[in-house]
Amino acid sequence: MNTLQPYRYNAKTHVGHKRRINEDAVLALPGHAMWVVSDGMGGHDAGDYASRLIADAIATIPEGLGARDQMNALRDTIQSAHRLIVAEADQRGRGVIGATVAALMLAENHFVGIWAGDSRIYLLRDGKIDMLTTDHSAVAELVLAGQMTWDEAELHPNSNAITRAVGVGDDLELDKVRGETLPGDRFLICSDGLTKYATFAILQDMLSRYPIETVSDELIQLALDGGGADNITVIVVDVL
């Protein structure tokens, strides 16, 4: 946690109750005002490789870049990681290796979110929660068509079927969201190990109630109490 910057943050990850390996990767770069969650897919020695490679690659971005240059560096680094993972999968001659990515960057009273897959970025502002990202998943189309809510989508049999990830396919398309930040804003970046157990109402309530020192622990405990069937990664960032 860095109290010298115009934000505070808390980042935690947990293997959960069912998995032997944590295939999630969490990265906090306070000097860049950048935070990343990556959720690996492909099993041990594959999913954890992919998510860690993404996080390690982003960690090489130098400090001191301007906001636009840093955003471009973030996109370029994720694209480089994509190519490396594709090459590794080809070399291993086995099934799909990949990982989601959700990255938040703060600069000059603005935020930028970049993502691929179903790891999410939320914004709590004035006590109301908003999901800034849109899942790249089979059930997302049903939500966007108004046939179900995001909360209902988590209960769908195909909720884990993602349609886009770093390392999957020849070309990677990254989506971006941006906007202004206000003092008191609270961002949540998380893997689906949390959102399987936390509705919008639950997230809104917990993000509103708990201080930055304990909020990540409380969210992880919620997922563990719900079953903890997946790895759980949570980053909460407060704008001061």
pLDDT at 28: 98
Whether this model's pTM surpasses 0.75: yes
The confidence band for 26, taking pLDDT boundaries of 50, 70 and 90, is very high
Show the beta-strand stretches assigned E in the chain. Answer: 7-14, 24-29, 34-41, 98-99, 101-107, 110-116, 120-125, 128-131, 175-180, 186-190, 232-239
- How far is it, in rounded angstroms, from Cα 95 to Cα 92? 9
pLDDT in tens, 34-76: 999 999 997 767 999 999 999 999 999 999 999 999 999 999 9
**Domains, in order of start, for the chain:** 7-131+164-239 (3.60.40.10)
Q: How many CA atoms lie within 13 A of 154 on its CB side?
A: 14
pLDDT at 3: 40
The confidence band for 116, taking pLDDT boundaries of 50, 70 and 90, is very high
Q: Which two tokens stand for residue 221?
A: 């405990």
Q: 200, 131 in Cβ contact below 8 A?
A: yes
Q: Which two tokens stand for residue 112?
A: 């930028």
pLDDT at 44: 65
The confidence band for 4, taking pLDDT boundaries of 50, 70 and 90, is low
CA dihedral 45, 40, 167, 31 (to 10 degrees): -110
2 pLDDT more than 50:
no
User: Which residues, at least 6 apart from 24, have a Cβ–Cβ distance to it below 8 Å?
Assistant: 13, 37, 38, 39, 40, 51, 191, 193, 231, 232, 233
pLDDT in tens, 213-230: 999 999 999 999 999 999
Q: Which two tokens stand for residue 234?
A: 């949570």
pLDDT at 159: 77
Q: Which two tokens stand for residue 207?
A: 């993000």
